[in-house]
Amino acid sequence: MESLVFFGAGPSKIPDQVLERVQDELLDYGGTGVSVMEISHRSGQFQQIITDCESRLRRLLGVPDNYRVLFMQGGATGQFAAVPLNLSLTGKADYFITGTWSKKAAAEAGRFLDVQAVLPAADRFLGIAPAAQWKLRPDADYVYYCDNETVEGVEFPNVPGTGNVPLVADMSSNILTRPVDVSKFGVIFAGAQKNMGPAGTTVVIVRDDLLSRGLKMCPSVLSYSAMAKAGSLLNTPPCFNIYVTGKVLEWVEEQGGVSEMTLRSDIKSKLVYNTADSSDEFYLAPVAVDSRSRTTAQLRLGAGADLEKKFLQEAEQAGFKSLKGHRSVGGIRVALYNALTVPQIERLVAFMGAFAADNRQ
């Protein structure tokens, strides 16, 4: 439906062109006479699908040769456990807690390791404390952060410096929206369901030298070294999801790759934040300017919750679906992932302008 704009924060919009290609191939994959959902994960066809998917991701992100790309299960939440289980060396790790997801990750890691918070404790997450306040242990096994906090809309403007301590990043909600120098990281992981395809597979990029660490108790399905050895085929993977992910990556390449996605993310997020900042506090963007997310913009209405409710109702009637903020923080969340187009966001900000004009008190 042309006029509907879907802002689901995850699972999220998949480009229409991708859905159409999937539809075309659904009943008969590549002349096999069966659906891609039905072919064996040990077949030549699926091997080609997963190899292509990995190659595309390597090209798009410029993944160096000394990194493995794994397709794992258990979602990003599975990685909250996998990271400490795989990276423990002396049993301690430092966590930046900048929102809901890094807080959950730190709590999960605390089941296995001594976890220390890098930042001073906060009740609300509206930015990232300056580096002078960071507490980093030079002998930690790794430092963990969430590059974009999907719920609060807080995004790191730069990769935090951690010296020689391996850096781990959850990029679930901003992967492929800006360039990343993979060589700065020990591990990068991301659930597919925002910028890479349907929920069900989690991409893990891990540096080779980290594969020999970890706790003995680590289950094989969460083990980076076991998955690397098996080429991500330790057990039956979510074949269909990996196939669609490959199609999304193909689409990103056709559109112009990560540089084009970066450009579009900047344009889209500026449209939204500029509309809020120039609205005379009708709309508020509460996150500190330098750490405002380019992919999950958090907005409030200055007049409060009742008008937010009206905004969401009228937005829905106008075809803008799923703008409601996460239940834990309320407000409005504008997902600006790669599948959302610049014209769609132009339409949204026009709607925001008209709503403000009609409802200003």
Residues that bind ligand PMP (CB under 6 A): 10, 75-77, 101, 146, 150, 170, 172-173, 191
Phi, psi of 308 (to 5 degrees): -60, -40
Least distance CB 193 / ligand PMP (angstroms): 6
Please identify which of the residues 13, 170, 247, 268 carries the catalytic annotation.
170
Least distance CB 211 / ligand PMP (angstroms): 23
* Dihedral sign computed on CA atoms, order 316, 318, 319, 325: negative
In angstroms and rounded to an integer, the radius of gyration of the C-alpha atoms of the chain is 21
Structure tokens that stand for 336 in this block: 């600006």
Interior angle at CA 333, CA 258 and CA 252, nearest 5: 20
Beta partners for 68?
Answer: 206
DSSP string, 155-206: E-SSPPP-TTSPEEEE-TTTTTSS---GGG-SEEEEETTTTTSSTT-EEEEE
Least distance CB 279 / ligand PMP (angstroms): 27
Closer CB to ligand PMP, 80 or 224, in the complex: 80
Least distance CB 168 / ligand PMP (angstroms): 12
Least distance CB 232 / ligand PMP (angstroms): 17
**How far is C-alpha 66 from the geometric centre of its chain's CA atoms?**
23
| Residue 331: partners with Cβ closer than 8 Å, 6 or more residues away | 298, 299, 300, 301, 308, 325
CA 17 – CA 253 distance, rounded (Å): 13
CA 188 – CA 184 distance, rounded (Å): 10
Structure tokens that stand for 128 in this block: 């990232």
Closer CB to ligand PMP, 200 or 214, in the complex: 200
Q: Is 321 an annotated catalytic residue? A: no
Q: Judging by DSSP bridges, how do beta strands 167-170 and 142-146 pair with one another?
A: parallel
Please identify which of the residues 13, 101, 141, 324 carries the catalytic annotation.
101
**In what order do the strands lie in the sheet containing 202-207?**
67-72, 202-207, 187-191, 167-170, 142-146, 92-95, 114-117
Closer CB to ligand PMP, 10 or 353, in the complex: 10
Q: Is 251 an annotated catalytic residue? A: no
Closer CB to ligand PMP, 77 or 262, in the complex: 77
Closer CB to ligand PMP, 80 or 320, in the complex: 80
Structure tokens that stand for 56 in this block: 């595309």
Least distance CB 91 / ligand PMP (angstroms): 24
Please identify which of the residues 13, 194, 247, 268 carries the catalytic annotation.
194
Closer CB to ligand PMP, 70 or 349, in the complex: 70
- Residues marked active site are found at 101, 170, 194
